[in-house]
Amino acid sequence: MTAPYKAAALEPEAASPLILALPKGRILEECGPLLERAGIVPSPDYADESTRHMRFATNHPDLDVIRVRAFDVATFVAFGAAQIGICGSDVLMEFDYPEVYAPLDLGIAKCRVSVAEPAATAGSDDPSRWSRVRVATKYPNIARRHFADRGVQAEIVNLSGAMELAPGLGICRLIVDLVASGSTLRANNLVETAKIADVSSRLIVNRTALKTQPEAVGALIARFRAALAGG
């Protein structure tokens, strides 16, 4: 099925739909009911994990959805590839893009960014007396800032998953990672020793898009605001 061809060359502004960037994985599942209440219905293959498509039409001819890695949602929105998106506040904290404006806390995918270390060494020594510490994380900026504020220089080991293994295998003293129930930490003999920040998912928009297309982008923000109020 092909969409009817639009006269894009004649009227580029009017003819290009807005793009909503959504993350694969956990947030995608949790934001389903919210999208529904916002009256946004992506084409059926959007929910099919096995599809190779990454861009989907919706019930609104002027809105398409793209499905990308959670970490990449903020990047697509910051560079204006998508005008609007949903991503975790952990990702916003890590990248701190000035082009990204986060008008709404969606209250979903709640967890926290924390420091964790092996139960065996936790509390054995006062972190404020360290000069440096080796930390495995996928949040190098959050981790560096957290320790710098305490006068400790963090040496970062960049991992994108399974950081819980790293201290036990001797490559770092600590990890900085997301914690929800704490069961992954417990299963790997780690304990949470400090909470850096609470995390939830946010609606984000590109500031320039909001300025240049205030009606269209503003109407989408209003849809999400109404969906939150009604939920």
The binding site for ligand ADP (CB under 6 A) comprises 23, 25-27, 69-70, 88, 90-91, 109-111, 178, 180, 199
Number of residues written out for the chain: 231
Q: State in angstroms the smallest separation of the CB of 27 from ligand ADP.
A: 5
Q: State in angstroms the smallest separation of the CB of 129 from ligand ADP.
A: 32
Q: How far apart are the C-alpha atoms of 130 and 29, rounded to whole Å?
A: 41
Query: With respect to ligand ADP, which residue has the nearer C-beta, 69 or 207?
Result: 69
Q: State in angstroms the smallest separation of the CB of 131 from ligand ADP.
A: 31
Query: With respect to ligand ADP, which residue has the nearer C-beta, 19 or 92?
Result: 92
Q: Nearest 10 degrees: CA dihedral of 63, 69, 70, 76?
A: -50
Residue least distant from ligand ADP (Cβ): 88
Q: State in angstroms the smallest separation of the CB of 100 from ligand ADP.
A: 14
114 phi and psi, to 5 degrees? -135, 165
Query: With respect to ligand ADP, which residue has the nearer C-beta, 101 or 130?
Result: 101
Among candidate residues 161, 157, 155, 151, the one with its CA nearest the CA of residue 126: 151
Among candidate residues 43, 77, 113, the one with its CA nearest the CA of residue 221: 77
